[in-house]
Homo-oligomer: A and B are copies of this chain.
Amino acid sequence: MVFLVMAIGLSACSQPEIEKPGETIDLLISNGTIVTMDAEWRVIRNGYIAVRGDRILAIGEMQDLEKRRYIAVTKIDARERLIVPGLINAHTHIPMTLFRGIADDLRLQEWLEKYIFPAEAMNVDRDFVVAGTRLGLIEMIHGGTTTYVDMYYFEDAIAEETRHAGLRAVLGETVIDFPVADNKTWEEAIAYTERFVKKWKNDSLITPAIAPHAPYTVSTGHLEEVSLFAKKHDIPIVTHIAEASTETAFTRKNFKAGPVSYLDRIGFLSDRVIAAHVVHVDDSDIAILKNRGVGVVHCPQSNMKLSSGVSPVNRMLIANIRIGLGTDSASSNNDLSLWEEMDTAAKLHKLINQDPTVLNARQAFSMATIGGARAIHREKEIGSLESGKKADFIVLDTDAPHLIPRYNIYSHLVYATKASDVRDMVVNGRILMRDRNLLTLSEFEVKNAARRYQMRVADSFKNREK
Contacts of A310 in B (CB 8 A): 351
Nearest B residue (CB) for A360: B105
Q: A101-B415, A105-B360 are in contact. Are A351 and B303 (CB under 8 A)?
A: yes
**CB atoms of A350 and B304 under 8 A apart:** yes
Q: Which of B304, B306, B443 contacts A348 (CB 8 A)?
A: B304
Q: Which of A61-78 contact B (CB under 8 A)?
A: none
Nearest B residue (CB) for A115: B407
**CB atoms of B335 and A415 under 8 A apart:** yes
Q: Does A353 reach chain B (CB closer than 8 Å)?
A: yes
Instruction: Give Cα distance in the complex from A98 to B411, angstroms.
Output: 14
Q: Which of A383-420 contact B (CB under 8 A)?
A: 399-402, 404-408, 411-412, 415-416, 418-420
Chain B: minimal CB distance from A305 (Å):
5
A18-26, A37-45, A224-232, A447-455 - the one binding chain B: A447-455
Q: Does A307 reach chain B (CB closer than 8 Å)?
A: yes
Instruction: Give Cα distance in the complex from A59 to B333, angstroms.
Output: 33
**CB atoms of A135 and B404 under 8 A apart:** yes
Q: Does A457 reach chain B (CB closer than 8 Å)?
A: yes
Contacts of A407 in B (CB 8 A): 100-103, 454, 457-458
**CB atoms of B401 and A334 under 8 A apart:** no
**CB atoms of A353 and B453 under 8 A apart:** no
Chain B: minimal CB distance from A397 (Å):
11
A: contact size bracket: 35 or more
Bitwise, A8-43 to B at CB < 8 A (1) or not (0) is: 000000000000000000000000000000000000
Instruction: Give Cα distance in the complex from A378 to B446, angstroms.
Output: 43
Contacts of A143 in B (CB 8 A): 402
Contacts of A340 in B (CB 8 A): 340, 343
Bitwise, A414-456 to B at CB < 8 A (1) or not (0) is: 0110111000000000000000000000010011001101100
Q: A104-B360, A111-B356, A404-B451 are in contact. Are A304 and B347 (CB under 8 A)?
A: yes
Q: Which of B108, B135, B335, B350 contacts A416 (CB 8 A)?
A: B335
Instruction: Give Cα distance in the complex from A103 to B411, angstroms.
Output: 8
Q: Which of A325-343 contact B (CB under 8 A)?
A: 330, 333-337, 340, 343
Q: Does A161 reach chain B (CB closer than 8 Å)?
A: no
Instruction: Give Cα distance in the complex from A67 to B105, angstroms.
Output: 41
Nearest B residue (CB) for A356: B307
**CB atoms of B416 and A418 under 8 A apart:** no
Chain B: minimal CB distance from A403 (Å):
8
Contacts of A415 in B (CB 8 A): 101, 104, 305, 333-335
Chain B: minimal CB distance from A165 (Å):
13
**CB atoms of B420 and A135 under 8 A apart:** no
Chain B: minimal CB distance from A33 (Å):
14
Q: Does A184 reach chain B (CB closer than 8 Å)?
A: no
Q: Does A138 reach chain B (CB closer than 8 Å)?
A: yes
Q: Does A107 reach chain B (CB closer than 8 Å)?
A: yes
Q: Give the residue among A111, A142, A361, A407 with the most B Cβ atoms within 10 A.
A: A407
Q: Does A301 reach chain B (CB closer than 8 Å)?
A: yes
Q: A135-B404, A418-B419, A447-B401 are in contact. Are A347 and B105 (CB under 8 A)?
A: no
Q: Does A319 reach chain B (CB closer than 8 Å)?
A: no
Instruction: Give Cα distance in the complex from A360 to B105, angstroms.
Output: 5
Q: Which of B411, B447, B457 contacts A334 (CB 8 A)?
A: B411
Nearest B residue (CB) for A137: B401
Q: Which 6 A-B pairs have the closest CB atoms?
A: A405-B454, A420-B420, A304-B347, A105-B360, A334-B415, A139-B401
Residues of A within 8 A of B (CB): 98, 100-108, 111, 135, 138-139, 142-143, 301, 303-307, 309-310, 330, 333-337, 340, 343-344, 346-348, 350-351, 353-357, 359-361, 399-402, 404-408, 411-412, 415-416, 418-420, 443, 446-447, 450-451, 453-454, 457-458
| Contacts A333-B415, A334-B416 known; 14 new A-B pairs at CB < 8 A | A100-B405, A100-B407, A101-B412, A103-B407, A104-B361, A304-B351, A305-B415, A306-B350, A307-B353, A307-B355, A402-B419, A404-B451, A405-B457, A418-B418
5 pairs, A vs B, C-beta closer than 8 Å: A104-B408, A304-B350, A344-B344, A404-B454, A405-B457
